[in-house]
Amino acid sequence: MKTRICGTGSALPKRVVKNEDLSKIMDTSDEWIRSRTGIASRHLAVEETLAGLAAKAAAQALEEAEIAAEDLDMILAGTISADRLLPCELQRELGAAKAVAFDINAACSGFLFALQTADAYIRSGQYRNILVVGGEILSKLMDWNDRSTCVLFGDGAGAAVVRPDEAYGILSSVQGSDGARGGVLSCGGRRNNNPYVTNSTALSFVTMDGQAVYKFAVRTVPKAITEAVERAGLTVEDIDLFVLHQANIRIIESVSKRLRVSMERFPTNLSECGNISAGSVPVLLDDVNRRGLLNKGDKVVLAGFGAGLTWGASVLIW
């Protein structure tokens, strides 16, 4: 039994912020951002909620999968920036009363970890119709006085409906985490209001050692992909599309070089979306799906990596 993606969807906030716009409010430039990251603009949520974006993406995925929200057995949402700290918001938005719902915090690997969790539930036979979502409004976790982080990220959400299938679906998965190195990309929790705590820390935002994260990504991602592809009994030459987490075009180019696979097989949306963390893989997957770049039987790699540190890769037959 395999876990098959039967429908995809995505939603981005209306407001587009270009590099030139950022250069008017901080000491940066289009040239600096573009040359180091490949990012030209990003969507930032001004009015939208994450649950609203996720519900929009989910509705498209449900429509393509021809499943009603009421028929969902489970909703798994990969995110670190939910509107509220407690879960089940998307379930309420969708009216998916029968579903079991919870959030998964694996930062930029959130969609991959949610998909792999869904795969385990489906192969165990416990659930059949699962909605997997990855989405973020990371702009609210950014320090807008820190130009080295805030220019990199964008907001948005993507979704996939997965169901059991005999022939098509996930062939293999790899996942990993390394909490010992987590300090290179971090974000503190809420301010503690407990009257018994005297050393409560201040409000906290995302902090990052960019070069350490870069090195982690270019070493770990090709390794994880190679392992997942081998576990599937394939070689990287057999893979039609590599849908990678969109953090930096130089990271994607380095992965393509290390795997000796042409960049043509690595679709990107980084230029228009920036890094949407848990949202980036499902938003890009929906984009390639809607553009008709995925044919039945194609072999696809999905891979995510990021804070934690965490990483995950899955190989599937579309």
- For ligand COA, the binding residues (CB under 6 A) are 28, 32-33, 36-37, 108, 147-148, 151, 208, 210-211, 213-214, 247-248, 275, 306
* Pairing relationship of beta strands 185-187 and 156-165 according to DSSP bridges: unpaired
Provide the CA 296 distance to its chain's centre, in angstroms: 23
**Residue 88 bears catalytic tag:** no
In what helix (H) or strand (E) does residue 314 lie, and over which residues does it extend? strand 310-317
| Length of the chain in terms of residues written | 318
Provide the minimum distance between the beta carbon of 256 and ligand COA in the complex, in angstroms, as a whole number: 16
Provide the minimum distance between the beta carbon of 153 and ligand COA in the complex, in angstroms, as a whole number: 8
Q: String of b and e for 277-315 (b: at least 16 CB within 10 Å)?
A: bbbbbbbbbbbbbeeeebeeeebbbbbbbbbbbbbbbbb
In what helix (H) or strand (E) does residue 124 lie, and over which residues does it extend? helix 110-124
Six token digits for residue 236? 């990287």
CB closer to ligand COA, 267 vs 306? 306
Neighbours of 46 (CB within 10 A): 11
Provide the minimum distance between the beta carbon of 249 and ligand COA in the complex, in angstroms, as a whole number: 9
CB closer to ligand COA, 61 vs 213? 213
CB closer to ligand COA, 87 vs 210? 210
CB closer to ligand COA, 176 vs 210? 210
CB closer to ligand COA, 108 vs 137? 108
**Residue 245 bears catalytic tag:** yes
CB 161 within 8 A of CB 130: yes
* Pairing relationship of beta strands 299-306 and 310-317 according to DSSP bridges: antiparallel
Nearest to 261 by CA among 249, 252, 269, 250: 252
Active-site annotation holder among 245, 248, 269, 273: 245
CB closer to ligand COA, 9 vs 308? 308
CB 99 within 8 A of CB 121: no
Provide the minimum distance between the beta carbon of 158 and ligand COA in the complex, in angstroms, as a whole number: 16
CB closer to ligand COA, 51 vs 208? 208
Which residues of 35-129 form beta strands (DSSP E)? 41-43, 74-78, 100-104
Active-site annotation holder among 108, 129, 150, 248: 108
DSSP string, 273-292: H-B-GGGHHHHHHHHHHHTT
CB 188 within 8 A of CB 81: no
Active-site annotation holder among 129, 248, 269, 275: 275
Angle at 149 between CA 26 and CA 207, to 5 degrees: 125
**Residue 145 bears catalytic tag:** no
Active site residues: 108, 245, 275
